[in-house]
Amino acid sequence: MSTAILGAHEAELRRTRTSVKWLTYPSDVLPLWVAEMDALPCPAVVEAVSTAMARGDTGYGWAPGYAAAMSDYTEDALGWSFRPSAAMVVTDVMIGVSEMLRLLTDEGGPVVISPPVYDAFYGFVEAIGRRRVDAPLTPEGRLDPQALRTAFRAATQGGARAAYLLCNPQNPTGTVHAADELAALAALAAELGVRVVSDEIHAPLVLDGSPAHTPYLTVPGAERGLAAFSPSKGWNLAGLKAAVVVAGSQAGADLARLHEVHTHGSSHLGEIAHVAAVREGRDWQRRLVTELTANRDLLGDLLAEHLPGVRWTPSRATYLAWLDCRALGLGDDPAAVFRERGRVALGSGPRYDPERGQGFVRLNFATTPDIVEEAVRRMASVV
């Protein structure tokens, strides 16, 4: 087996893994659709979880210890300092986000999002009985101040309580929002009375040579904001659940309204895994980011060679590529064509932007270089 973190072969992955990524489609379909990495596990995490299991340490978690470890990590790695007492441990990022949106808005009230965006945003807004208002990103994948102003005005019309759900860094475009962009967002939200909740799960996955991640709560004017963070995406630990929701300096009373029972969903083994990752798995994660950066660059070269009609802005964060395939003539949902005729599964563009995502796909390049190359060749065979 290769010593690379993204080093397992497809046949081995299919033989040993039982997650949704590998079981959803037939075995001849390359699965590059869901945000899950083909990474060998971080040894520090394996040791921590195995040791906990061996000693029978499988009870309920202790949230203060987890919050303190996350605070230490975000301060050291992201420049985002928060007091553990200003955080609440929750099941995962999206549960924490959705519960805060529920508290900050009224039944049937507006939640603004910026498509294209993580498809679960749509589902959670619907699940909590809220109304979606769109403020689309620019064609370059940046926050659009005018679109935000228009959406915020529409959302707050008549005095409605409104919230904005920020994806920072951005999924699926891989955009790293700049500090001045986030400060402009904070100022606009304060001006129009919109509360901002930031999903920062991809913060550890800024690729080499990219601008640094700016945590939303660190920009001027974000004091009434809230943010959710977890190492689960950066260390490929989706099956070991835990996260923190952090309140800005003027949002503590809002977070305090989140009932203590929400801390019960966090997995004790998840907390153990996450703490080991951020304390002892930093070198592993840095090597991972270097491999992801190389795969991103490889993908760009392969697209230029085999699918020059595809347009994209290379991702600066995450391991996801947002590909504009409209020039290929494959219809509104190229992902369906690539899956049926090329036997490669990609994310369907309209899932991330129902109104403007036709002709786009999301590709997960967190796999081996060989699989990235095979996927592009299969896609090219379709056209």
Tell me if residue 261 falls in helix, strand or coil: helix
**Model confidence band, residue 9 (pLDDT cutoffs 50, 70, 90):** confident
170 touches 115 (CB < 8 A)? no
Q: Using the predicted structure, report yes or no on whether residue 12 has a pLDDT greater than 90.
A: no
**Model confidence band, residue 365 (pLDDT cutoffs 50, 70, 90):** very high
**Number of residues written out for the chain:** 383
| Domains of the chain: residue spans and CATH | 10-41+282-382 (3.90.1150.10), 50-280 (3.40.640.10)
Buried b (16+ CB within 10 A) or exposed e, 268-281: bbbbbbbbbbbeeb
**Model confidence band, residue 3 (pLDDT cutoffs 50, 70, 90):** low
Pick the closest to residue 225 from 101, 77, 126, 76 (CA basis). Answer: 101
pLDDT tens, position by position, 253-287: 999 999 888 888 999 999 999 999 999 999 999 99
Q: Counting beta carbons within 10 angstroms of the beta carbon of residue 63, is it exposed (0 to 12), middle (13 to 18) or buried (19 or more)?
A: buried
Cα–Cα dist 123/14, whole Å:
29
Cα–Cα dist 279/273, whole Å:
10
β-bridge pairing 320-324 and 360-364: antiparallel
End-to-end CA distance of the chain: give it in Å, rounded. Answer: 34
> Whose structure tokens read 């009224």?
106
